[in-house]
Amino acid sequence: MEILITNDDGIYAEGIYALATALKKAGNVTVVAPDTQRSAVGHAITITDPLRVTPARRNREFFGYASSGTPADCVKLGIKAIMKKRPDLVVSGINLGGNQAYNILYSGTVSGATEGALLGIPSIAISLDTFTKPDFGPAADFAVKLARQFKKRRLPPGTLLNVNLPNLPARKLKGVRVTNQSLTCFNDWFEKRTDPHGSTYYWMTGDYKPKDADLASDLNALRAGYVSITPIQFNLTDYKFIPELENWNLKL
């Protein structure tokens, strides 16, 4: 398999290194990732500035290509400019922090995979639900297992897999659940602070609401110690509402 890897934490993040190292067991790996942190940029692409690409080394060896662009830019570059062969699979991650519920809309990690799906390539976004003391090993191993499935499985056009793992040792993971996206909102707020020069600034923080009534959601699976896999699409049309909207008095 030809596998293209990206992320939004930057090419020097530990998560992408663990992912790329593990996925070499499943195929030929090409890494194209942002040269620095690009978290929560959503599906932004760069159209007003040139994209710079430089070789990146880790442990004194060539690791991949660092780009000045976003995760979506990196996938476009990888497929259309850098890779000699069209990839069989795009994998984005391993993200530091979960990407579930409405967080999916903001996630650069998910958008990297979404760009792959837009270009007709099977794609996976994978995240570890923690910001402290991450153990990327189980997530990397699971990515290999999932990647190998694509030798005999197919995704529907326009569908990608959003995968989240709790930060637990492999022996403590309870299993895998196929889930739906939680509709629980992220409860955010701004902390008002003052810098050393006396100027006011605001820093956003927050957390998820404590309960989610949907037992089949990605959020509840993670909280219960399961790996969550959610098939998601980028078609945002509300088809059920179309007939009602057609009855609105909107004639010119």
Nearest CA to 117 out of 75, 168, 179 is that of 75
Q: Are 136 and 14 in contact, with CB atoms under 8 Å apart?
A: yes
Tokens of 252: 């010119």
Q: Can you give the pLDDT at residue 9?
A: 96
Q: Can you give the pLDDT at residue 209?
A: 64
Q: Can you give the pLDDT at residue 145?
A: 97
Distance CA 112, CA 41 (A): 10
Report angle CA 225, 231, 237 to the nearest 5 degrees.
Answer: 135
Domain annotation for the chain: domains and CATH numbers: 2-182+211-246 (3.40.1210.10)
Whole-number percent of the chain with pLDDT over 90: 87
Q: Which helix (H) or strand (E) holds 143?
A: helix 137-149
- What beta strand segments (E) does 18-154 contain? 28-34, 53-58, 61-67, 89-96, 123-129
User: Is pLDDT above 70 for 210?
Assistant: no
Whole-prediction pTM value? 0.93
Higher pLDDT, 102 or 19: 19
- In tens, the pLDDT along 98-120 reads 999 888 999 999 999 999 999 99
Confidence of residue 185 (pLDDT cuts 50, 70, 90): confident
Amino acid identity of residue 134, one-letter, is P
User: Is pLDDT above 80 for 70?
Assistant: yes
User: Is pLDDT above 70 for 243?
Assistant: yes
Cα-only R_g, the chain: 19
DSSP state of 155: P
